[in-house]
Structure 1
Amino acid sequence: MPPEPRSPEPPGTEQIPSPVESAQLTLVEQLVVWARRRIEERVFRPGMRMPSIRRLAIDKGVSRFTVVEAYERLVAQGYLDSRRGSGFYVREPAGHTAPVPRVAAAVGHAIDVVWLLRNMIGTTSPEKGPGLGYLPNRWLDGELIANSLRALGRQGGPQLLQLGTPQGFYPLRQQLQTRLSELEIAASPEQIVMTSGITQAIDLIARIYVQPGDTVLVADPAWFQMFGRFASQGARLVGIPYTPDGPDLDALERLVVEFKPRMLVLNTVLHNPTGTSLGAAQAFRILKIAEEHDLIVVEDDIYCDLAAPGASVTRLASLDQLKRVIYLGSFSKTLAANLRVGFAACSPDVARALTDQKMLVGMTSPEINERVVFKILTEGHYRRHAERLRARLDAVRDRTARALEKLGFRLFTTPGHGMFHWVDTGVDTAVLTAAGHEAGYLLAPGALFSPNQSPSTWMRFNIANCGDPGLVDFLARALDSGVERRAPVPAGG
Structure 2
Amino acid sequence: METGNQAGSPHGETEPAAPAGHAMGEGKAEAAGKAARAGSRRPLRLVLPSAPTASGELSAAGSLPDPVPSAQMTLVGQLTEWARMRIEERVFRPGMRMPSIRQLAQDKGISRFTVVEAYDRLVALGYLESRRGSGFFVRERGPGIGAGLGAGLPSEAAPPAPHGSRNIDVPWLLRNMFHRAEPRKAPGLGFLPNDWLDGELIGSALRGLARQPGSHFLASGTPEGFLPLRQQLRTRLAELEIGAAPEQILLTSGITQALDLIARLYVRPGDPVLVGDPAWFVMFARFAAQGAQVIGVPYTGEGPDLEALERIVQAHRPRLLILNSVLHNPTGTSLSAAKAFQLLRLAEQYDFLVVEDDVYCDLCPPGHPATRLASLDQLKRVVYLGSFSKTLAANLRVGFVAARPELVQSLTDAKLLAGLATPEINERVLYKVLTEGHYRKHVERVRNRLERARDETRHALEKLGLTLFPGQHAGMYLWADTGRDTNAIATAGHEEGYLFAPGSLFSPSQLPSGWMRFNVACGHDPQMLDFLARQLDRL
Provide TM-score, normalisation by structure 1.
0.77
2:208 maps to which of 145, 148, 151: 151
4+ residue runs of structure 1 moved beyond 6 angstroms? none
Residue pairs, 1:350-365, within 5 angstroms: 350-365=407-422
- Structure 2 distance, partners of 1:287, 1:479, is 41
Offset of residue 289 of structure 1: 0.3
Alignment RMSD: 1.8
Cα deviation 1:258-316 (Å, max 9, x = unaligned): 11111111111000000110111111111100011110110000000000123211101
Question: Which of 89, 92, 106 is the equivalent residue of 2:149?
Answer: 106
Note the alpha carbon deviations across 1:140-163, whole angstroms, 9 max, x for none. Answer: 000110010011011132112211
Q: 1:257 to 1:204 in 2, by over 3 A?
A: same
User: In structure 2, what is the equivalent of residue 333 of structure 1?
Assistant: 390
The counterpart of 1:137, out of the listed 171, 194, 202, is 194
Match of 1:285 in 2: 342
Amino acid at match of 1:417: A
Equivalent position of 2:272 in the other structure: 215
1:126 and 2:183 matched: yes
My pick for the range that moved more, 268-277 or 227-236, is 227-236
Say which of 441, 444, 454 aligns to 1:384: 441
Q: Distance in 2 between matches of 1:253 and 1:374?
A: 41
Q: Which residue of 2 aligns with 1:235?
A: 292
**1:225-259: per-residue Cα shift (whole Å, max 9, x none)?**
11221111110011000112221000000000011
**Aligned residue type for 2:531:** F
2:504 to 447, 450, 455: 447
Task: Map Cα deviations across residues 114-163 of structure 1 (whole Å, 9 max, x no partner).
Answer: 01100001114111110011100000000110010011011132112211
Is 1:468 aligned to 2:525, yes or no?
Answer: yes
Q: Which position in structure 2 is the counterpart of 1:6?
A: none
Q: Find the counterpart in structure 2 of residue 164 from structure 1.
A: 221
Return the alpha-carbon distance in structure 2 between the equivalents of residues 468 and 346 of structure 1.
42
Verify the 8 A CA contact 1:102 1:452 in the aligned structure 2.
no
Q: Any idea what the Cα deviations from partners look like across 1:341-389, whole Å, max 9, x if unmatched?
A: 1000000001101111101111111111110110011111111011000
Match of 2:406 among 349, 356, 373: 349
Q: Are residues 93 and 137 of structure 1, via their aligned partners in 2, closer, same or farther at CA, if it must alter by over 3 Å?
A: farther
Structure 1 residue 467, shift from structure 2 partner: 4.3
- Per-residue deviation, 1:105: 4.4
Q: Amino acid of the residue matched to residue 131 of structure 1?
A: G
**Corresponding residue SS for 1:461:** strand
Matches for 1:405-484 after TM superposition, within 5 Å? 405-413=462-470, 415-480=472-537, 482-483=538-539
Aligned residue type for 2:89:
G
1:95, CA displacement in angstroms? Answer: 3.1
Q: Which AA in structure 1 matches 2:251?
A: M
- 1:196 Cα deviation from its structure 2 partner: 0.3
Q: Give, as a single letter, the amino acid of the residue that structure 2 aligns with 1:444.
A: A
2:458 to 383, 386, 401: 401
How far 1:93 sits from its partner (Å)?
Answer: 9.1
Which has the higher mean CA deviation after the structures are superposed, 284-293 or 93-102? 93-102
2:521 match: secondary structure: helix
Match for 1:200 among 257, 262, 273? 257
User: Structure 1 CA distance, aligned partners of 2:270 and 2:251?
Assistant: 29
> 1:327 aligns to what SS in structure 2?
strand
**Structure possessing the higher relative contact order (Cα contacts under 8 Å, 6 or more residues apart):** 1
Q: Is the 8 A contact 1:100 1:108 kept in 2?
A: no
Q: Which amino acid aligns with 1:256?
A: V
> Following the alignment from structure 1 to structure 2, what is the Cα–Cα distance between the partners of residues 473 and 94?
40
Confirm or deny: 8 A CA contact 1:221 1:450 kept in the other structure. Answer: yes
Find the partner of 1:319 among 357, 376, 389: 376
Identify the residue that residue 298 of structure 1 maps to in structure 2: 355
Query: Does structure 2 conserve the Cα–Cα contact (< 8 Å) formed by 1:302 and 1:330?
Result: yes
Q: 2:89 maps to what in 1?
A: 95
Unaligned runs of 5+ in 1: 1-91, 484-493
Work out the CA distance in 2 between the residues paired with 1:320 and 1:244.
Answer: 22
- Deviation of 1:415 after TM superposition, in Å, equals 1.9
Partner Cα separation in structure 2 for residue 286 and residue 264 of structure 1: 10
- In the alignment, the residues of structure 1 paired with residue 321 and residue 301 of structure 2 have an alpha-carbon distance, to the nearest angstrom, of 20
Structure 1 residue 180: Cα displacement: 0.1
Residue of structure 1 aligned with 2:330, choices 273, 276, 279: 273
Gaps of 5+ in 2: 1-85, 95-137, 154-166
Q: Whole-Å Cα distance in 2 between the matches of residues 341 and 400 of structure 1?
A: 30
Give the equivalent residue in structure 2 for 1:23: none
SS at match of 1:337: coil
How many Å separate the matches in 2 of 1:95 and 1:328?
43
Does the 8 A contact of 1:109 with 1:453 survive in 2? no
Contact 2:150 2:170 in 1 (8 A): no
Residue deviations 1:197-227, cap 9 Å, x none?
0000000000001111110010000000112
2:225 aligned counterpart, secondary structure: coil
AA in 2 matched with 1:277: S
More helix by share: 1
Q: Distance in 2 between matches of 1:471 and 1:198?
A: 30
Q: Secondary structure at the match of 1:106?
A: coil
Q: 2:427 aligned to 370, 374, 389, which one?
A: 370
Q: Which residue of 1 aligns with 2:73?
A: none
- What's the offset of the Cα at 1:414? 5.1
- Asked whether the 8 Å contact 2:271–2:291 carries over to 1, the reply is yes
Matched-pair contact (CA < 8 Å) for 2:482–2:536: no
Which amino acid letter does the alignment assign opposite residue 168 of structure 1? G
Compared with structure 1, are the counterparts of its residues 102 and 288 closer, same or farther at alpha carbon in structure 2 (3 Å cutoff)? farther
> Structure 1 stretch 97-106 or stretch 149-158: which is displaced more?
97-106
Q: Deviations over 1:318-350 (max 9, x none)?
A: 011001111000000000000011000000001
Number of aligned residues: 391
What is the deviation of 1:399? 1.3
2:139 alignment partner AA: V
- The yes-or-no answer on 1:249 pairing with 2:306 is yes
Per the alignment, residue 174 of structure 1 pairs with: 231
Contact 1:411 1:421 in 2 (8 A): yes
Q: Distance in 2 between matches of 1:451 and 1:109?
A: 15
Asked if the contact 1:180/1:186 (under 8 Å) is kept, the reply is yes
Give the Cα–Cα distance (whole angstroms) in 1 for the partners of residues 205 and 361 of structure 2.
Answer: 23
Q: 1:469, CA displacement in angstroms?
A: 2.7
Could you tell me how far apart the structure 2 residues matched to 1:102 and 1:398 are?
A: 39
SS of structure 1 residue aligned to 2:401: strand
Residue identity opposite 2:149 in structure 1? A
